Structure 1
Amino acid sequence: MNADLRPFSLPLSDPFETARGTIERRDGFLLRLEADSGDPADGDRPDASVGVGEATPLPGWTEHHDECEAALRNAAETINREADSEPDADAPLADLGETPAARHALDLALADLRASREGVPLYRHLGASNRVETVPVNATVGDAGAEETLEEAKRAANAGFECLKVKVGARPVSADVERIEAVSDALPGIELRADANGAWTRTQAQQFLDAMGDKLSYVEQPVPATDLASLAALSGPVALDETLAAVALEDALDADPHAVVLKPMALGGPRKAVELAEQAREADVLPVVTTTVDGAVARTAAVHVAAAIPEHAACGLATATMLESDLGPDIAPVADGRAVVPQGDGNGTADTWGYHD
């Protein structure tokens, strides 16, 4: 097996703010693996010998860009050094535990290659037993006054979205309650979620949950990521997002959440994301797949991850429009509130290696 690495830089359509500052571009790496042709006698397709993975680090969720690059270069050197032998292809993953974005690239490239050899879509390789044509996705409604929030929500509903995630936490709790109530009253058939990004105290979060009643499916990350005591004490449906970047899933589940938000890029790859989704289901917790505003390779893989999870919840996968340019064509487009699941072999993005938008 041989490995090649290529950097990329994707400008965003509009900058967005994070706790660590403004982000204007998504910089990362594509990892391409090329293996000897498979053996048809083993059911492999002899021409399916390429897998492509993506690492798009986002500090706060993953390692920094330079740490990601160093980890990927070390992994590629290891793979290339042993190219003429028959090493365990998964072995380099063990050295990437502290660099989840780099691990995501290798894990995805391996899964893409293997699914292609099997002649199945990636989601089937990840464990789905049935064909899945589409998965539901949510629209995100940004912070604004009640009137502007309602108008944005109506536009999303008119575009076919049946689930909306409303950003909260930047205004007084009473103002956010007013915003959600305006949307709930005007669009009674729409599933509503709120996302506070850890902005509230326990008291504020409980005030919001009490005011919302059954108008919300859940509020995402109402208090800071590591405040597990407050998360466990809250009465009402809560989803954990940033917490999963701070603690292990089993510790997060002790807070008895309603849902967990799974970002394959931050978790170390599509196979890890599916594994954690299964653990969440076993604990009767809803897994929701989303991205870290990734390029087409990782975003498509996240769609496959969502398709591999039974009883698909609406996922945060409608992020392609956040990029001004991309790694390749969008083969998992969103229409009428659903993302198309590619049915070709593997992830379906191997040709992005030579693509220029």
Structure 2
Amino acid sequence: MSPDLDTEFERLSLPLADPFTIARGTTETAENVLVRISDGTHEGIGAAAPSSYYGETPETVEAVLPEYLEVVERVGDPHARQRIERELRQVVGRNPAARAAVDIALADLAAKRLDVPLYRQWGLDPAEAPTSSFSIGSADPEEMRAKAERAVADGFSVLKVKLGTGEDAERLAAVREGAPEARIRVDANGAWTPGEAVARSETLADHGVEFVEQPVPGDDVAGLRHVRERGAVPVAADESVETAADAARVADAVDVVVAKVQKCGSLRATREVAAVAHAHGCEAMLGCMVASNASIAASAHLAPLFDYVDLDGSLLLDSDPFDGVPMPGGDIDLGGVDRPGTTAVDRC
């Protein structure tokens, strides 16, 4: 193996500030896998935030990373990310979160060697980064109202409300009561049937909801189309979309396509989802998993390419061992980035 790059990885168990509930279950601890890639002078940091929904666990990430990092060490050049990404797919074709961790760490290392922040390498305009939403997990209506009030007090003007676990109307009304002026989006994480989604959309519209994300199961593209055609609010597809090809497949059934680096497998592949969505007349949203800034910071540099952003995953943690791009009240401050790389800086 080439001595040019040294690699290592480790498991991180990151407790959340509060249990976070969506239609598929409750998370109390985010299990991430940290990747470090060093050239002896600079170190690149990335992380996987695997989701069992997409067929990954921390154990599967740890199983494939030795093979992936062997490719990185053999190629020995953090700037050769296209070649490395191609070879990673040849080693193990799936495992997007594991591949994303490697790609983020390589991008971080390459940018530090160039002494240029990632967004500037791509020529992106910091002023075009949308304001990130802050997520309100499903809970008792009064608890959700209180969380909405706190989020607004902390400066957040856009909220994403998790529904699909019962009492949807009461919970949404409570959030609206706690945040009367906020922009609100709703995410059902595939919990409703098409008929239920259409019926609930009237209530969403009454509360000024901007759009509903994944109202029906991820494999039900016809259901998405049904909700879009008959419902009262625009429709976004998240679980239905992993790749750019998926974006093309659902484009005539939705208004918004959601991309996440952890399900796309690399920063380049995430950009492709946005490009395909826009080419098909859809808007694009950039999302994330519940994860540290070792995973999320790089995504912030992609934000100017998207119409909507939901990058609050690290804000749900009790504490984050990594600094990322400043995001006060959801405003992504790329212009304030004065460090190279993806600005995931280890505070430990």
TM-score normalised by L of structure 1: 0.81
For residue 89 of structure 2, give the secondary structure of its aligned residue in structure 1.
helix
1:40 equivalent in structure 2: none
Q: Report how far residue 91 of structure 1 moved.
A: 4.1
- 1:348 and 1:51 map into 2 onto residues whose CA distance is 10
Matches within 5 A, 1:53-202: 53-81=46-74, 83=76, 88-95=83-90, 96-125=92-121, 127-132=122-127, 135-171=130-166, 175-181=167-173, 183-184=175-176, 187=179, 189-202=181-194
8 Å CA contact 1:10–1:323 kept in 2: the answer is: no
The equivalent position to 1:327 in structure 2, one of 314, 321, 324, is 321
Q: Structure 2: 5+ residue runs without aligned partners?
A: none
2:8 equivalent in structure 1: 5
Q: Report how far residue 345 of structure 1 moved.
A: 1.1
- 1:183 and 1:19 map into 2 onto residues whose CA distance is 17
Code of the aligned partner of 1:139:
F
Which stretch of the first structure deviates more once superposed, 128-137 or 276-285?
128-137
- 1:147 and 1:82 map into 2 onto residues whose CA distance is 54
1:213 equivalent in structure 2: 205
- 2:143 and 2:29 map into 1 onto residues whose CA distance is 27
For residue 52 of structure 2, give the secondary structure of its aligned residue in structure 1.
coil
> CA 1:63–1:83 in structure 2 vs 1: closer, same or farther (change >3 Å)?
same
Q: Report how far residue 209 of structure 1 moved.
A: 1.3
% identical aligned pairs: 33
Q: Is 1:268 aligned to residue 265 of structure 2?
A: yes
Code of the aligned partner of 2:330:
G
Q: Report how far residue 225 of structure 1 moved.
A: 1.0
User: Which structure has the larger Rg over C-alpha atoms?
Assistant: 1
8 Å CA contact 1:159–1:337 kept in 2: the answer is: no
> CA 1:348–1:282 in structure 2 vs 1: closer, same or farther (change >3 Å)?
same
TM-score normalised by L of structure 2: 0.83
> CA 1:34–1:144 in structure 2 vs 1: closer, same or farther (change >3 Å)?
closer
Q: Report how far residue 163 of structure 1 moved.
A: 1.1
> CA 1:338–1:81 in structure 2 vs 1: closer, same or farther (change >3 Å)?
closer
> CA 1:298–1:348 in structure 2 vs 1: closer, same or farther (change >3 Å)?
same
> CA 1:219–1:6 in structure 2 vs 1: closer, same or farther (change >3 Å)?
same
2:247 equivalent in structure 1: 249
Code of the aligned partner of 1:254:
D
For residue 7 of structure 1, give the secondary structure of its aligned residue in structure 2.
strand
> CA 1:344–1:229 in structure 2 vs 1: closer, same or farther (change >3 Å)?
same
Deviations 1:195-239 (A, max 9, x none): 111111111100011333362110111111111111111124111
Deviations 1:228-287 (A, max 9, x none): 1111111241111111249822212232x1212222111102221122112212222222
8 Å CA contact 1:153–1:183 kept in 2: the answer is: yes
Code of the aligned partner of 2:7:
D
Code of the aligned partner of 1:176:
D
- 1:56 and 1:134 map into 2 onto residues whose CA distance is 23
8 Å CA contact 2:32–2:291 kept in 1: the answer is: no
8 Å CA contact 1:145–1:179 kept in 2: the answer is: yes
For residue 12 of structure 1, give the secondary structure of its aligned residue in structure 2.
strand
For residue 339 of structure 1, give the secondary structure of its aligned residue in structure 2.
coil
Q: Is 1:344 aligned to residue 342 of structure 2?
A: no
- 1:182 and 1:99 map into 2 onto residues whose CA distance is 39
For residue 244 of structure 1, give the secondary structure of its aligned residue in structure 2.
coil
Matches within 5 A, 1:231-250: 231-234=224-227, 235=230, 236-245=233-242, 248-250=246-248
Tell me the number of residue pairs that the alignment of Structure 1 and Structure 2 aligns.
Answer: 332
Matches within 5 A, 1:23-38: 23-35=27-39
Deviations 1:169-189 (A, max 9, x none): 222xxx433543565577553
8 Å CA contact 2:23–2:189 kept in 1: the answer is: no
8 Å CA contact 2:145–2:176 kept in 1: the answer is: no
Code of the aligned partner of 2:34:
L
8 Å CA contact 1:57–1:101 kept in 2: the answer is: yes
- 1:74 and 1:185 map into 2 onto residues whose CA distance is 51
> CA 1:231–1:20 in structure 2 vs 1: closer, same or farther (change >3 Å)?
closer
Q: Report how far residue 56 of structure 1 moved.
A: 2.4
Q: Report how far residue 113 of structure 1 moved.
A: 2.6
Which runs of at least 4 in structure 1 moved beyond 6 Å after TM superposition?
Answer: none
Q: Report how far residue 114 of structure 1 moved.
A: 2.7
- 2:315 and 2:65 map into 1 onto residues whose CA distance is 28
